[in-house]
Amino acid sequence: MVGKKSSEVLTAAPRRRPLSSWAIRHFSTAIAALGRLSRQPFASLMTVLVIGVTLALPAAMHLVIKNAQVISASWDNALDFSVYLRTDVSLADAERLVNIVSQRADVENVTLIAAADALAEFREQSGFGEALDHLSVNPLPHTLVVRPSAANTEVSMGLLNEELGNLPEADFVQVDTEWVQRFHAILDILERAIAIGAALLAAAIVVIIGNTIRLDIQNRREEIEVTKLIGASNAFVRRPFLYIGMWYGLGGGVLALLLVGYGLYALKEPIARLSGLYSSPFAALALDFSESLIIAGAGIVLGLVGSWVAAARHMRRIEPR
């Protein structure tokens, strides 16, 4: 009876061995690791909480930058070009030019500020009114204020700038982009700072998980010794700890997403009120699917790295005595 059974096993085993049993073994180890965590819910939750908050910080900062970039991108296209015409260009020529320029596809509309109007405005606002009275001629040129269409890219804006400057009537073209460029530069710096911060926080997560796993390994020292004694390889003993690390990381990643999501929800109304005041349709962007995957994936990878480091350092030293 027994002999028959064992011969059955011998013939059946090689056919079934390869992938499915490997996967089943890993799956059951993963589930067992999850079960072990759920038996100490408080301690596990604390670890997940620390990792979640640590991951949520860079994720939230990334979101702030991302939204700031969206807002500033809309400013880019709202820039106007001031085309100062040569002083010898007549008002009639200037008006004809308005018609020509406003027919361009990349131009939304063109406003003409006549030299006389400009002088009147200047007189009113500068306080040099009387001094200006002594001028025999108006020193100000006619000016076209060209508003580019919203579809323009950075490249086509540059092209438009150049072509406006090449108009025979144009003296020079001014674009007030400096402050936007400064804003972009600040965003770039912030983005890099966040990347550095994220790297440091990632290292912190590796250390946190590594330390948690190290304690776990110490608590289960006897079990590890016994399993090694009956022929378990290092890989076999290490596997449950790697899965525990993975679960910590995944839990932390999901928690980070929840925290960021809740933060955004809490800010939704004030943001709507503010954009209402600017009569802007802006609504804060949330993390998209791939960004969410990256955060959860980062949690998993960091969890695995942390537990791997701990296991590699401490497992080898535990040998049967």
Partner 1 sequence: MIRIEEVTKRYPGGHDALKGLSLHVEKGEMVFVTGHSGAGKSTLLRLIALIDRPTGGQVIVDGQNTRRITRRKIPAYRRQIGMVFQDHKLLYDRPVFDNVALPLIIAGLDHREAGRKVRAALDQVSLLHKEKQSPETLSSGEQQRVGIARAIVSRPKLLIADEPTGNLDPDLSLEVMRIFRRFNEVGVTLLIASHDIALIDQLGCRRIALADGALEVQREEDPVAEYVERLEAEQERERW
Q: Which is nearer to partner 1, 32 or 60 (CB)?
A: 32
Kindly give, in sequence order, each residue whose CB lies less than 8 Å from that of residue 104, ignoring residues fewer than 6 positions away. Answer: 160
**226: contact with partner 1 by CB under 8 A:** yes
Annotate each residue in 16-55 with x if it binds partner 1 (CB under 8 A) or - if it does not, as one string: xx---xx-xx--x---------------------------
Shortest Å, Cβ 39 to partner 1: 9
Shortest Å, Cβ 22 to partner 1: 8
Q: Which is nearer to partner 1, 116 or 235 (CB)?
A: 235
Q: Which is nearer to partner 1, 67 or 234 (CB)?
A: 234
**229: contact with partner 1 by CB under 8 A:** yes
Q: Which is nearer to partner 1, 13 or 215 (CB)?
A: 13
Q: Which is nearer to partner 1, 229 or 274 (CB)?
A: 229
**102: contact with partner 1 by CB under 8 A:** no
Shortest Å, Cβ 33 to partner 1: 14
Burial profile 91-120: b = 16 or more Cβ within 10 angstroms, e = fewer: eeebeebbeebbeeeebbebebbbbeebee
Shortest Å, Cβ 38 to partner 1: 14
Beta bridge partners of 181: none
- In a 3-state reduction of DSSP, which class is residue 208? helix
By CB under 8 A, the count of residues binding partner 1 is: 27
**15: contact with partner 1 by CB under 8 A:** no
Q: Kindly tell me the sign of the dihedral angle through the C-alpha atoms of 307, 309, 314, 316.
A: positive
**268: contact with partner 1 by CB under 8 A:** no
Q: List, edge to edge, every strand of the sheet that includes 170-175.
A: 107-113, 143-148, 81-85, 170-175
**Residue 58: which of 299, 308, 301, 309 has the closest Cα?**
299
Give start and end residues of each alpha helix (H) in the chain: 2-16, 19-38, 41-76, 91-102, 115-126, 129-133, 154-166, 178-219, 221-229, 234-277, 289-315
Angle subtended by helix axes 41-76 and 289-315, to nearest 10 = 140
Q: Which is nearer to partner 1, 117 or 319 (CB)?
A: 319
- Return residues touching partner 1 (CB under 8 A): 2, 5-6, 9, 12-13, 16-17, 21-22, 24-25, 28, 223, 226-234, 236, 319-321
